[in-house]
Amino acid sequence: MQILTKDSKIKLNNGVEMPIIGFGVFRIPEGEEVVAAVKQALRVGYRMIDTASRYGNEEGVGKAIRESGIPREEIFVTTKLWNTDQGYQNTLKAIDDSLARLQLEYVDLYLVHWPTAGLTNEPTINKREETWRAMEEIYKSDKAKAIGVSNYTITHLEEMKNYMTIPPAVNQVEFHPFLYEKELLEYCHGHNIAVEAHSPFANNKCNDNEVVKNIAVKYNKSPYQVFVRWSLQHGAIPLPKTTDPERMKENINVFNFELSSEDMETLNALSIGLHVRVDPNNFK
């Protein structure tokens, strides 16, 4: 297995390099709380920050990046297009709004947040095709160095073949041992689409399972570290989130051990189809 470090990167299908671990800011409030969290994450070694217009904290993320003292080109910034902003013209406006809030000239990755253009998944409001046409324009304009999707299933990705001219570089999905979507992972890797793992701790349910606890003890690591390492060894890019400085260090300190194939299989077997976020097949 390739030796990984916190500074390792993967090359996306358009040649852009992306860190193999990121810091998520979902539900971290706008203002000083998110500013402090992002600054601390950057201090301990994270170089990818994952936000979204829906999170309502893009301004704070941008402020933290500017005040970090780290050159902009060394920080990989992701944001996302919200459902009700889908559609060709709306999407073109939404990226400008996000860049204005971030006070950045570009983002490194822009994602379609969900495969629905509303608050349900009714097909009458589905705008995936025209939205992706705008995403391609955003990519060509250099406002995003790479474009991708989030929470897309194989069905959605297959559908894209009918209208895309630029394939998605990334699919960010819920991915953890309780939701081991092996077929989706293999599909994405087979089509040169990087997989990012959001909600990698399954809403902290990693702490409630005796099997996970026993594996953590074996490696003298925390259940959180075991789950991050599991994602990495599946070739997925985890996006752990915390506001605790010590947990930030812990979550990125996963490059000095390797889960055995037996322990990987044990963790894989925990999968029960548990969605701690919305199931993209049943968006409500």
The catalytically annotated residue of 55, 110, 152, 224 is 55
Reference 138, options 187, 95, 202; nearest CA is: 95
Rounded CA-CA distance 279/284 in Å is: 9
Residue 58 burial (CB < 10 Å; 0-12/13-18/19+)? buried
Rounded CA-CA distance 213/192 in Å is: 34
Residue 55 burial (CB < 10 Å; 0-12/13-18/19+)? buried
Q: What's the count of helices (H) and strands (E) in the chain, helices before strands?
A: 10, 10
Q: Is the dihedral of CA 84, 88, 93, 97 positive or negative?
A: positive
Q: Which residues contact 153 (CB under 8 A, 6 or more apart)?
A: 115, 184, 280, 281
Active site residue 55: yes
Rounded CA-CA distance 20/7 in Å is: 8
HEC readout, 147-173: EEEECCCHHHHHHHCCCCCCCCCEEEE
Q: Mind telling me the catalytic residues?
A: 55
